[in-house]
Amino acid sequence: MAARGARTAGGEVPTIGLPGAAKATAWRPFVASFVRRLGELGWVEGRTVAIEYRWADARNERFAEIAAEFVRRKVATIVTSGTAVAAAKQETSTIPIVFALAVDPIGMGLVSSLARPGGNITGLSLQAPDIAGKRLELLREIVPNLRHLAVLANVANSQVLLEVRQAAADTLGLTVVLSEIRRADDIAPAFKTFERRADALYISPATRSCTPTRFVSTRWRSPRDSRRYTLTGNTSRRRA
């Protein structure tokens, strides 16, 4: 990006492309924090920097289209998270891409390593694969009679799914009922798969990009399922 407060050679302020996974209303708190921090660093939206917002409305297939548009518009940088990062990487190897979070940036092929990411991508990692087993151990403590575990996960994060399934089956001896989703519309059918087949539900952290956790918890913990438990991935982050 150009120097702080500077304009481009054509007299225009640099532009940040910001694709969001859900609707604008869902991202409002994050956008507000982002814009506020930019201002603290001297980048004032509408004065020294422009921000182009695009919303995927929980349809991951929209990310490729959005990323291609940003490349055509020659934005200075792309700031995003989750599945949108891979789509942006497919479209450009020169525009800087910053991800607010990624479940497994190495396993997803986004960076070479956390210490030396290389290329045009950097950001924060949730390190989900490293602690999937720990989360499940906590769940076992909460539900001592846990035998059958439902796993709700974004199919795009295959490494995370592998770690969770291995930890559940090999370490804890659990039977896994897996439902892989690609978009928010896949959530409701997933619960028919889980019905009366699982004692607890594990929500992969990457799934929250297309699935509000509150919605999942509400559907899962109906009156007749009051003894079922939901565990969502939420861990400390590490810079890549």
* Neighbouring residues of 29: CB distance < 8 A, sequence distance ≥ 6: none
Answer with the residue of higher pLDDT: 205 or 191.
191
In degrees to the nearest 10, what's the CA dihedral of 197, 201, 202, 205?
130
**What domains can you pick out in the chain, each with its CATH number?**
15-102 (3.40.50.2300), 128-233 (3.40.50.2300)
Say whether pLDDT at 218 is over 60: no
170 secondary structure, DSSP code: I
Angle at 230 between CA 224 and CA 234, to 5 degrees: 165
Predicted confidence band at 51 (pLDDT cuts at 50, 70, 90)? very high
> How does pLDDT run across 150-159, given as a tens digit for each residue?
887 776 655 5
| pLDDT at 94 (0 to 100) | 95
Element (H, E) at 102: strand 97-102
Mean pLDDT of 204-209: 56
Could you tell me which residues come within 8 angstroms of residue 118 by beta carbon, excluding any fewer than 6 positions away? 111, 112
Q: Is 57 or 130 the better-scoring residue by pLDDT?
A: 57
Round to whole Å and give the CA distance between 102 and 95. Answer: 18
Q: What pLDDT is attached to residue 240?
A: 54
Within 13 Å and on the Cβ side, how many CA atoms surround 71?
15
Q: Is the pLDDT of residue 206 over 80?
A: no
Whether 14 contacts 1, CB under 8 Å = yes
pLDDT at position 52 over 60: yes
pLDDT at residue 215, as a whole number: 41
Average pLDDT of every residue of the chain:
76
DSSP, residue by residue, 48-72: TBEEEEEE-TTBTTHHHHHHHHHHH
Q: Is the pLDDT of residue 31 over 80?
A: yes
| 235 SS3 class | coil
